Amino acid sequence: MIVVTGAAGFIGSCLLAELQARGYADLVAVDDFSRTDKLPNLEGKRLSARIERSEFLSWLDANENQVQFIFHLGARTDTTEFDKSIFDELNVRYSQEVWRKCVAYGIPLVYASSAATYGAGELGYADDEALVFQLKPLNPYGESKNTFDQWALAQELKPYFWAGLKFFNVYGPNEYHKGRMASVVYHAFNQIGDTGGMKLFRSHKEGVKDGEQARDFVYVKDVCDVCLFLMETRKNSGLYNLGSGRARTFLDLVRNTFKAMGKEEKISFIDTPADIRDKYQYFTEAPMGKLRRV
């Protein structure tokens, strides 16, 4: 069995589809299935079982001898949520329990970290494990991901193979349920289709022009390819960046979306919402050398 937590979510559902396409048949989906808005992501997936997130750890105790690999992608990912206790429970303590089970039962593990751990990029974006304890994330989500990375690195007992993937700005199919947290690509496609134009956040940082905020955007199917590569090779455990390796401005991204849709370019700017303005990453770019050397 291959287990995917967060299976009804954006990346998890795409990973299940890719596993299925490559002939992996014994797949187990773990999620909070009370979120009915995400359930269409599982349509057409041939699953051995659907396990509620709250029941997964006890299920794993009973079925560990059948589990060959765990992709732990389930997490609270809302960067605008500032209740730290939610992240402590779902992104830290729950992930610690999954880790401990993998150690106890000899199960290899790939889990989702995040580029949000890098904060404003004061220390750059190198996936150097020596820097993890110095990083300063900008929000509780990023803090929770970095807290778990720190905890994992400090553990004397680790799964015989493990990898924490620092996802940069992932985009692609099956993110419709993410609302405000969906990618700029998704919002641009829908907003251009609905209104003929696109509104981007105005820059509130000196030296950065409107629309020149830049992120490393990576396609979800490329993310899935890396996940399967790590599962199939299982060497060189550690933390890895997972992006395209190149930052692109929002303006460039949206202009290309207009072009791909065959629409006349119509871009305007609005203020960045006050609740995220001070926690906003103006630049991210993933050095990819470490992963390419695996």
- What residues act catalytically? 141, 178
Task: At 55, list the tokens.
Answer: 């029941």
Secondary structure (3-state) at 122: coil
Question: How are beta strands 198-201 and 2-5 bridged, if at all?
Answer: unpaired
Q: Positive or negative CA dihedral for 212, 213, 216, 221?
A: negative
Could you tell me if 139 and 82 are in contact, meaning their C-beta atoms sit under 8 angstroms apart?
A: yes
- Distance from C-alpha of 46 to C-alpha of 225, rounded to nearest angstrom: 19
Q: What is the Cα–Cα distance from 50 to 46, expressed in whole angstroms?
A: 10
d(CA 191, CA 100): 44
What angle, 0 to 180 degrees and rounded to 10, lies between the N-to-C axes of helices 140-154 and 94-105? Answer: 30
